[in-house]
Amino acid sequence: MKLNIKSFSLTCGIIWGLAVLLSTWWMLLTNASGKTFGKLSKFYLGFSVSWGGSFVGLIWGFVDGLIIGAVFAWLYNKLLAEKA
């Protein structure tokens, strides 16, 4: 069964973006230090463990998940076609 690249990549983007957003909110609400999670700012420009930074993380996470999901689905379909 082939994966629909567009659907899979959008799903990955939404899930990863929301994961970054909700994880940041969780750290803010529980007063966690966020030292390890804050290192995402090295990859996601403008991200910080703050309310505003969580929305920047949402956007970067969506883009990151979108790209990774598209590459994964494309590679999966490519390898599936070679097997058949």
Domain total for the chain?
A: 1
pLDDT value at 43 more than 80: yes
Whole-angstrom Cα distance, residue 61 to residue 63?
5
Provide the CA 34 distance to its chain's centre, in angstroms: 18
Q: Which domain holds residue 43?
A: 5-83
Residue 5 pLDDT: 97
- pTM assigned to the model: 0.90
Residue 73 pLDDT: 98
60 close to 20: Cβ distance less than 8 angstroms: yes
As a whole number, mean pLDDT of residues 65-82 equals 95
| Sign of the C-alpha dihedral computed for residues 35, 40, 46 and 48 taken in this order | negative
Token pair recorded at residue 80: 């599936």
